[in-house]
């Protein structure tokens, strides 16, 4: 079966009360439209055709990396009119899968079922039973339970409104039928729109079989019209993600307090505490423990790593058996080698930290290279910025930097060097020696504390 996909996205989305087009609102960090585009791409060799109306520039700018065919529908004259705008891009011998930019979570499984059930010359339609069918088109069935018509809410009689089977709006239709039928649509209905749903009666008229399929989950076919619905679908999506991780051997302390906003892989026997957010491309190995309230964005974490509470990691590579946090901030370009430790209130940016090195308290390390088994004392700062340029700090193996040192880059601390606490280091420190730069401690003999005058006491 050769498939073309059309995604309708011309609606204005006024009920979002937003200056952003509705389909650019996000679920799990990804625009609604991208969710649908990604699903569509799994069914077709050809780029999805997106029918847009308002704010086309903003759509195209946001999705500029995405391979789609943009088709403008200047006036929203109805779903039938919208599909007809796309027809010139669709080969005659294709089946057309019609999707919606604001129905983001339609699944690959459900659409595969629609494709499987629908024979080549039939019209396939996805229907569902709704608890609250209000506002949706109702499926009218005739003798032998055959679908004979779809009636829109605004055109329905009181009796038809009682029907709970609704039209999801998702169809699989041979392109040749659409090319024949869509020009024949009229807008003689309550909304004065060209209804795509009228093709059902046309199919019936031509004795073309109409085959219905139902979605796996009710939430898949829900549209986003309001922020409330957006929030509901976000929660549904997150629950689904959590389920998948649980099935694959990840422990989530509370699946309801766990958010994934990207492409995430987590190894077996890793435990994730509450309120952890994983964003972008995240890979976490096996047997890791991620404490509560951590954010990991675009990071790769090895096995047996412990990331303690309230740590934020962004654009970093963490090797096996590292310990990070609590309250650590690891910024882009950071590499932590095997068994290194980064403790509380430590910020690291664009630096590599060697095997078994420790930066355990209250430090800033930026643009630095640190060797193995180095100990960076509390309060150490790499002064990497002179107000104009960034400079590098190089620290060899087995170095000991005493607490509260300022290393003014560019500077090198050679292997085995010890830096005395409280030093400001502006020149390279030689290997295996103690370097310090601070005033020698002195005691002033016979010194007396000032005392208050008698009357002030
Ligand atoms: C449509 C169906 C209805 C179905 C419902 C499911 C018709 C006539 N009715 O309702 O049976 O139950 O979807 O949600 O098809 N759009 C355009 N251009 C237009 C009009 C709509 O691109 O001119 C897009 C919208 O952006 C939206 C989708 O089509 O993504 C559906 O439009 P909407 O107005 O939400 O649905 P209805 O037409 O009311
Ligand atoms: Ca409408």
Concatenating the DSSP letter of every residue in 63-101 gives TTTS--EEEE-SS---HHHHHHHHGGGS-TT-EEEEEET
Contact (CB, 8 A) for 129 and 168: no
User: Which one of the ligands is nearest to 196 CA?
Assistant: 1
Q: What is the CA radius of gyration of the chain?
A: 32
Question: Separation of 135 CA from ligand 2 center, angstroms?
Answer: 9
* Atom from ligand 1 closest to the CA of residue 167: 12
Question: Separation of 80 CA from ligand 1 center, angstroms?
Answer: 9
In the structure encoding, which two tokens stand for residue 352, read together?
Answer: 């590599």
Three-state SS for 251? strand
Question: Separation of 195 CA from ligand 2 center, angstroms?
Answer: 9
Q: Is the CB of 136 under 6 A from ligand 1?
A: yes
Nearest CA to ligand 1 atom 11: 137
Residues marked as catalytic: 361
Domain span(s) for CATH 3.90.550.10 in the chain: 3-221
Question: Separation of 42 CA from ligand 2 center, angstroms?
Answer: 28
* Atom from ligand 1 closest to the CA of residue 8: 22
Q: Which of 3.90.1150.10, 3.90.550.10, 2.60.40.1180, 3.40.50.300 would CATH assign to domain 3-221? A: 3.90.550.10
Three-state SS for 155? helix
Distance between CA atoms of 148 and 88, rounded to whole angstroms?
A: 28
* Atom from ligand 1 closest to the CA of residue 168: 6
The dihedral formed by the CA atoms of 66, 71, 72 and 75, expressed in degrees to the nearest 10: -120
User: Which one of the ligands is nearest to 153 CA?
Assistant: 1
The neighbouring-strand residues paired with 51 are 8, 71
Q: Is the CB of 10 under 6 A from ligand 1?
A: yes
User: Which one of the ligands is nearest to 225 CA?
Assistant: 1
Question: Separation of 191 CA from ligand 1 center, angstroms?
Answer: 12
Q: Is the CB of 8 under 6 A from ligand 1?
A: yes
Q: How confident is the model at residue 457, as a pLDDT?
A: 63
Question: Separation of 38 CA from ligand 2 center, angstroms?
Answer: 25
User: Which one of the ligands is nearest to 226 CA?
Assistant: 1
Q: Is the CB of 9 under 6 A from ligand 1?
A: yes
* Atom from ligand 1 closest to the CA of residue 11: 26
Q: Is the CB of 197 under 6 A from ligand 1?
A: yes
Question: Separation of 212 CA from ligand 2 center, angstroms?
Answer: 22
Q: Is the CB of 102 under 6 A from ligand 1?
A: yes
Mutation test of ligand 1: which of 6, 11, 14, 103 has the most ligand atoms closer than 8 Å to its C-beta?
11
* Atom from ligand 1 closest to the CA of residue 53: 22
Q: What is the CATH number of domain 227-435?
A: 2.160.10.10
Chain-centroid distance, C-alpha 205: 46
Distance between CA atoms of 351 and 369, rounded to whole angstroms?
A: 6
Domain span(s) for CATH 2.160.10.10 in the chain: 227-435
Nearest CA to ligand 1 atom 1: 169
Instruction: Name the nearest CA neighbour of 299 among 271, 277, 280, 276.
Output: 280
Nearest CA to ligand 1 atom 35: 11
Mutation test of ligand 1: which of 9, 132, 156, 169 has the most ligand atoms closer than 8 Å to its C-beta?
169
User: Which one of the ligands is nearest to 79 CA?
Assistant: 1
Nearest CA to ligand 1 atom 8: 195
Question: Separation of 22 CA from ligand 2 center, angstroms?
Answer: 14
Question: Separation of 83 CA from ligand 2 center, angstroms?
Answer: 14
Inter-CA distances, 418 with 52, 138, 361, 396, 433, Å: 65, 79, 18, 11, 6
* Atom from ligand 1 closest to the CA of residue 73: 18
Q: Is the CB of 90 under 6 A from ligand 1?
A: no
Inter-CA distances, 133 with 137, 147, 163, 331, Å: 8, 17, 8, 49
Going residue by residue through the chain, which has 457 residues, state the pLDDT in tens, using 9 for 90 and above. Answer: 899 999 999 988 899 999 999 999 999 999 999 999 999 999 999 999 999 998 899 999 999 989 999 999 999 999 999 999 999 999 999 999 999 999 999 999 999 999 999 999 999 999 999 999 999 999 999 999 999 999 999 999 999 999 999 999 999 999 999 999 999 999 999 999 999 999 999 999 999 999 999 999 999 999 999 999 999 999 999 999 999 999 999 999 999 999 999 999 999 999 999 999 999 999 999 999 999 999 999 999 999 999 999 999 999 999 999 999 999 999 999 999 999 999 999 999 999 999 999 999 999 999 999 999 999 999 999 999 989 999 999 999 999 999 999 999 999 999 999 999 999 999 999 999 999 999 999 999 999 999 988 876 6
The dihedral formed by the CA atoms of 350, 351, 355 and 358, expressed in degrees to the nearest 10: -110
């Amino acid at each position: 079966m050769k498939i073309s996909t059309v995604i309708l996205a011309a609606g204005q989305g006024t009920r979002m009360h937003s200056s952003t087009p509705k389909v650019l609102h996000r679920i799990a960090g990804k625009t609604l439209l991208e969710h649908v585009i990604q699903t569509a791409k799994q069914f077709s060799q050809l780029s999805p055709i997106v029918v847009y109306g308002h704010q086309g520039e903003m759509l195209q700018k946001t999705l500029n990396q995405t391979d789609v065919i943009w088709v403008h529908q200047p006036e929203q004259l109805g779903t039938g009119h919208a599909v007809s705008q796309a027809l010139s891009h669709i080969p005659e011998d294709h089946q057309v899968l019609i999707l919606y930019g604001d129905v983001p979570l339609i699944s690959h499984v459900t659409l595969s079922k629609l494709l499987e059930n629908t024979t080549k010359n039939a019209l396939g339609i996805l229907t569902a039973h709704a608890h609250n069918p209000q506002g949706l088109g109702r499926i009218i069935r005739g003798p032998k339970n055959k679908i004979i018509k779809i009636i829109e809410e605004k055109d329905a009689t009181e009796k038809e409104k009682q029907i709970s089977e609704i039209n999801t709006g998702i169809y699989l239709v041979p392109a040749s039928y659409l090319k024949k039928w869509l020009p024949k649509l009229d807008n003689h209905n309550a909304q004065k729109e060209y209804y795509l749903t009228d093709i059902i009666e046309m199919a019936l008229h031509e004795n073309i079989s109409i085959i219905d399929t139902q979605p796996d989950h009710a939430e898949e076919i829900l549209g986003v019209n309001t922020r409330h619905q957006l929030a509901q679908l976000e929660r549904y999506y997150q629950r689904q993600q959590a389920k998948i991780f649980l099935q694959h051997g990840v422990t989530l302390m509370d699946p309801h307090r766990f958010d994934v906003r990207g492409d995430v892989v987590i190894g077996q026997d890793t435990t994730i505490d509450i309120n952890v957010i994983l964003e972008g491309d995240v890979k976490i190995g096996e047997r890791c423990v991620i404490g509560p309230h951590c954010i990991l964005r675009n990071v790769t974490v090895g096995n047996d790593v412990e990331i303690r509470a309230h740590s934020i990691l962004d654009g970093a590579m963490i090797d096996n058996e590292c310990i990070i946090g609590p309250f650590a901030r690891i910024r882009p370009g950071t590499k932590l080698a095997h068994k290194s430790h980064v403790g509380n209130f430590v910020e690291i940016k664009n630096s590599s930290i060697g095997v078994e090195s420790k930066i355990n308290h209250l430090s800033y390390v930026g643009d630095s290279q640190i060797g193995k088994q180095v100990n960076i004392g509390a309060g150490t700062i790499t002064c990497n910025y002179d107000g104009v340029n960034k400079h590098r700090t190089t620290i060899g193996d087995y170095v000991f930097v005493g607490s509260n040192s300022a290393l003014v880059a560019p500077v090198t601390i050679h292997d085995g060097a010890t830096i005395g606490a409280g030093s400001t280091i502006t020149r390279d420190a030689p290997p295996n020696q103690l370097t310090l730069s601070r005033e020698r401690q002195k005691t002033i003999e016979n010194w007396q504390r000032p005392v208050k005058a008698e009357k002030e006491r």
